[in-house]
Amino acid sequence: MSAVSSQPLSMFIVILAALLIPILMARFQITGVPTAVAEIIVGVILGKSGLQVVNTTTNLSLLSSVGVIVLMFLSGMEIDFSLFRPEKSKGANHEASPVKLAVEAFMVSLIVAFGLALGLRKLGLFSDVFLATIIFTTIALGVVIATLKEKEILSKPIGQTILLTAVLGEIVPLVLLTVYASVRGGDATKIWLIVIPLVVAVILLHRFHRHFSWFNRVTKATTQLDIRLAVFLIFTLVLVAEAVGAENILGAFLAGMVMKLLEPYESTQDKLTSIGYGFFIPIFFIMTGAKLNLRELLVNPHALMLIPILVAGLVIAKLGTFLVYRQRFGNRNSFAGTFLTVTTITLVLPSLEVAKNLGSITQTQSDAFVLAAVIVCIFAPVVFNNTFRLAKADRIKQRVVIIGANVMTIPIAQQLERNWYDVRVVTDDQDSYHTYDSELQNIYYLEQLNLATLKQAGFLTTDILVIGQQKEERNQVLALGAKEAGVDRVIANQSSMRTANEQTQALVEAGVEIFNTYNVQASVLRALIESPSIMQLLTGTEAGLFEVRVKNHRYSGIQLMDLPMIDQITISRIRRNGTWLTPHGTTVIEYGDRIIFTAKDKDVVANLRDEFARPN
């Protein structure tokens, strides 16, 4: 068959394989192996090492190059920059924060990786210490994120710690790779030019940040302005990176970070992910496997000796992570998290391509590194999935602290305790404490009730803080102080018939939610007169009106008709980006939606709240 005629056939086989791989994995319930690794394995079977039905054509090479650029762009978009902010309200020991643990874990890995690279050179197995150090420290951010999302622990402390370790394991080696390419390429004097893509990224972020919300408003199905902007960012930063001698994947990664900082809608991220993982990225992974020549590798004694050593090196380089994680997490989950950071494939492949283009390594050495990375990518996530167990602290319900024990707050606390809330009531009134102590399990007495004592006792470590005392000025001080301390939701009682406008405005501007008993009573009486059936719905014991915010990415992009237990609930309204939507069966749920629904069965309500509101 001629080269020309083989091009469309190879393209057809690769695209067909990209379609069938996830279908077959779902059919045979192969969940322990990442899809990227499965695509590489299939590429090995179809390419040089196997059936030889896929050849490296011009078009496939072009699409594969675009695939790695899109992969690095999406990796940049996966970084959650809010994780780097100090967590004032979490009450966790700052000495064992996710950021600190991640930095320590990566630094230990970097030191061990350098030692392993020196050992390989001393043994005469691999002479390039710099390149080996880069490869041993890389972590597959995309694989790690997918695994953490599947376990639904991305927002938990251990999930954040593993994620930040993976972020460092992608950013730092990427920068080192650019430095490596500059030094090996004979342009060591131009290393400082690497900062130019970063400067351009900052300029682009400043230029588009103010207008991105406008892009989202005016975009249409036929224009897709958000996607066009993403393509523009990729092209611009890749072009700048190549122009100054940096690697194009660095530009793509920076473009992803810029796009993330623009705070795109979940739908925009879904569309970009669909474009990447739906077409370009599978071609890159399949062609990576197709280019591997295991026939030569398996008959080369040097390569056969190198493969197990490289696999051991990739594992050993991350073992120090276990000692770091143990500072906060148990032995079992620290071990599981350590093995997840062993996963490496995404940056290994472009690193080897750069090294081959520079003539630093042979094709055999490159294939040995790729095969070692594939091997650890197969067993590392499997070890994590079979070892990790949710800690007790990760299973707690939504936490509510109520300040003030009185006839209004105690019944509410009792009702909330029966559902999916972990409720604590605190008071400085000794008589109230003794009155309600027998009626409520978690009621606490503080001799002095102020911000300092609340923080010291751990009562500011909560998801919702309700200040239900009858002293308005004191409520205002506590509410404002709690918001400054980082409490997510603060609800303050302002019970006068006419609360001072200035006081109310200050609370609202600080993000405090106001509860005014006079307004509530007036609203309830009006509703009872005008809509008695609705009042029965709100106050009835068999049915009720409930709200839940969608924080589980698993349900983002799903139509209402496909939601679990949809036949047992009635969705009345959806609040999205400050706008009320009238739901239909084909309405697509987006991340952050607030769903208002009714249901008779309390277990159904609890299950839906647990599913939808579980961050992942």
pLDDT per residue over 322-372, tens digit each? 999 998 888 888 999 998 999 887 677 777 777 777 777 777 777 788 888
Closest C-alpha to 330, from 396, 394, 391? 391
For all residues of the chain together, what is the average pLDDT? 79
Local structure of 109: helix, strand or coil: helix
For residue range 542-574, list pLDDT tens digits in order.
556 677 888 777 777 778 887 777 877 888 788
Interval 225-233 mean pLDDT? 85
In contact, 262 and 204? CB cutoff 8 Å? no
pLDDT at 480: 86
Prediction pTM value: 0.65
Name the strand (E) or helix (H) holding 342: helix 331-342
Cα separation, 354 vs 359, in Å, equals 9
pLDDT at 100: 86
Higher pLDDT, 247 or 384: 384
For residue range 499-529, list pLDDT tens digits in order.
556 677 777 788 888 877 766 666 667 766 7
For residue 616, name the pLDDT band (cuts at 50, 70, 90): low
Cα separation, 462 vs 454, in Å, equals 11
Going from the N-terminus, what domains does the chain have, and what CATH number goes with each?
Answer: 3-80+97-392 (1.20.1530.20), 396-530 (3.40.50.720), 537-612 (3.30.70.1450)
Higher pLDDT, 143 or 541: 143
Closest C-alpha to 282, from 61, 15, 72, 65? 15
Cα R_g (the chain), whole angstroms:
28
From the number of C-beta atoms within 10 Å of its C-beta (0-12, 13-18, 19+), residue 245 rates as: middle
Q: Give every strand in the sheet of 579-581, ordered side by side.
A: 544-549, 594-599, 570-576, 579-581
Closest C-alpha to 156, from 83, 260, 79? 83
pLDDT at 189: 58
For residue 318, name the pLDDT band (cuts at 50, 70, 90): very high
In contact, 180 and 249? CB cutoff 8 Å? no
Hey, what are 425's tokens?
A: 């009531």
Closest C-alpha to 507, from 531, 488, 526, 483? 483
Q: What percent of the chain has pLDDT over 70?
A: 83
For residue range 57-73, list pLDDT tens digits in order.
888 888 988 988 888 88
Please, where are the H alpha helices in 124-156?
129-137, 141-151
Considering 141-145, 271-275, 357-361, 499-503, the range whose residues carry the highest mean pLDDT is 271-275
For residue 91, name the pLDDT band (cuts at 50, 70, 90): very low
pLDDT at 500: 52
pLDDT at 112: 93
Query: Could you please report the per-residue DSSP string of 430-461?
Result: HHHHHHHTTT-SSEEE-SS-SHHHHHHTTTTS
- Lowest-pLDDT choice from 19-33, 140-154, 428-442: 140-154
For residue range 422-455, list pLDDT tens digits in order.
889 998 888 888 887 877 778 888 888 888 888 8
Q: For 277, which DSSP code?
A: I
